[in-house]
Amino acid sequence: MIAAASADAAARNAFLGSLVADAIAMPVHWYYNQQAIDRDYPALGTAAVYLRPQNPHADSILWRSSFTPPNEKTDILREQAQYWGQRGIHYHQFLAAGENTLNYQLAIELYEFVRSRRDYDPEQWLDRYVAFMLTPGRHRDTYVEEYHRHFFTNLAAGRKPISCGVRDVHIGGLAMVPALVAALGPKHHDLRRIVRLHVSLTHKDDGVIEAADILTTILSKVCQGDDVRETILAEASDWISAAKIEKWSRNPDRMVVGGMLSSACYIPDAFPAALYLAWRHADDFASGVVSNARCGGDNCHRGAVVGSLLGASTPIPHELVNGLKAHDKI
């Protein structure tokens, strides 16, 4: 085992890695046509770079999404509402190159919240979450995931925040896990319970909570010096195996994630897809996060797994750290 200070530093790098992975994937988030990624963002095929999103988004289905706030006190769309229902709108159209999507902006908020208090309190966190979401201009992201919409619908109905979560099966529920591991430290005695509690506040699906617990365990061990590939196989055996990896490794990443495994957000495929990419690119951070982005689908939220595991175990290139808008907060 390595020293606690080194383990804590590795955990911060893991969190930083998740933010980098999200920001790189952001312009091609929810592209399901991988050839459209190459056409619209050719620079992403040659290097790990931050790019700004552009309209039109080739695969946007934002026009099919809708949210009518039950009352003014739960309006989480505000100025962005005008873009919902329109075709071709990029989900993150107003974010700058190197900027993080909404769930990762909340992860940064959570990191600062826990670090300032040196502890985690779910009710105080939910108060901060609600305030963040309802403050005009607090974030500039156009899209808000379903779990946010369900949460605030329940809040408007009079439920207490602690009871507003719903069963959500999306890998977006893992976006804040690296933040908690970094803020509390990988050796924290109650880390796994706190992570499970936190995720369950918004994502009550057993699969998402289990995946969060496994990611926490793997991150904790890798931050303390364990080998990332060996730890993935040891701790995530219900999701991924050496036999599957051997089979998948015969193919390009895009054929695995987007072909053999869905590139969509649903946890049964999204979590093993992310673990596989972290396993395959265990020696090269930049290669891993770029490949994750270029596979398309819910690449931003797979980045919570890919970016954190690679960030904990391999160096993050300086230019990616310096180009990340949020890097000085970590």
Q: Which residues contact 57 (CB under 8 A, 6 or more apart)?
A: 30, 31, 88, 89, 90, 91, 93
CA angle 244, 208, 60 (to 5 degrees): 85
Q: Is 273 exposed, middle or buried (0-12, 13-18, 19+ CB in 10 A)?
A: buried
| pLDDT > 70: percent of the chain | 98
CA distances from 208 to 116, 169, 218 (A): 27, 6, 15
User: How confident is the model over 116-125, as pLDDT tens digits?
Assistant: 999 999 999 9
Q: Is 260 exposed, middle or buried (0-12, 13-18, 19+ CB in 10 A)?
A: middle
Contact in structure between 216 and 191 (CB atoms under 8 Å): yes
Q: Which domains does the chain have, with CATH numbers?
A: 4-329 (1.10.4080.10)
Per the rule left: phi > 0, alpha: psi between -120 and 50, beta: everything else, 225 is: left
Q: What is the dihedral of CA 26, 104, 199, 277, to 10 degrees?
A: 40
Per the rule left: phi > 0, alpha: psi between -120 and 50, beta: everything else, 7 is: alpha
pLDDT-derived band at 3, boundaries 50, 70, 90: low
CA angle 207, 67, 84 (to 5 degrees): 105
- The three-class DSSP label of residue 11 is helix
Whole-model pTM: value is: 0.97
Contact in structure between 208 and 170 (CB atoms under 8 Å): yes
User: How confident is the model over 125-173, as pLDDT tens digits?
Assistant: 999 999 999 999 899 999 999 999 999 999 999 999 999 999 999 999 9
Other C-beta atoms lying within 10 Å of the C-beta of residue 158? 6
